Structure 1
Amino acid sequence: MKWKILLLIPPFLTACTMENNAYRVADVTLKNNQPCISVSNDSTLKEGHAKLLTLSLSARDNKGQMQEVWKQDNFDNPSYIILAGQCIPVGYKFTPDKEYSVTVITAQPEDKVATKRLWSRSFRLNELTPK
């Protein structure tokens, strides 16, 4: 009987941690034939904005592995402000048929731990809907 109770405890603990999950789905649309990467409004976006800590872009290589191809790292000195729904500039030339994965990490500078959110999404340029 005791071992049955021990089997039930982990799912309950997992469910509790999932409610405050830091992971979100990034918004990616097509604007001027380029991906428009943005984040939606979230409780951690103070008045609809937050600081960009990191933005990284990975692409699937010929071996089927995702490899980082571009990164903007502002973690130590976040100065770029992200507004909900606004495109984040990415200095990378995208290829239409390639699969990409984007990861955006945002936070309010006063508390990088409690307000940190990770936004992620995979996409292909030719599958995006125009904005």
Structure 2
Amino acid sequence: MGLSSFFKNLFGSTKESVTELAHNAETTFEQAKETAAPYIEKAEAFAEETIEKVKEVSEPIIDQAADYAEKAKDTVSEYADKVAKVANDVVDSVKERTASLNNEVPETISETVVDESEKPIAEVEEIAGDTIDKA
């Protein structure tokens, strides 16, 4: 029986220690939460103020960027029209020059030249025929 009472005392005291530890942890957590609450509120307020300041400062910059983008768009549109016109003029000019070159096709004169040092085809065929007959 001494052994069973030993285990009961051992496990019973461990259970009490764990319960006490959990209670202390819960109390400590509550105290930390209470202590941190004002700092959390200050951090949230600081974040909100900072976001508002950034919005105020960035509004004029965003407006300027929008104005600049609009001006750039107008300028690009203006030059795009000019570039398109110049490109069309170049294409038309190339077409005209190409058409005029096609109308002026030079007449090609060709001559047939026979090399007398070569044997005529009929003679080559005759020699080939004789060779085949002999074989």
TM-score w.r.t. length of structure 1: 0.21
Higher Cα radius of gyration: 2
Higher helix share: 2
Instruction: Tell me: higher relative CO, structure 1 or 2? Use CA pairs within 8 A at least 6 residues apart.
Output: 1
TM-score w.r.t. length of structure 2: 0.21
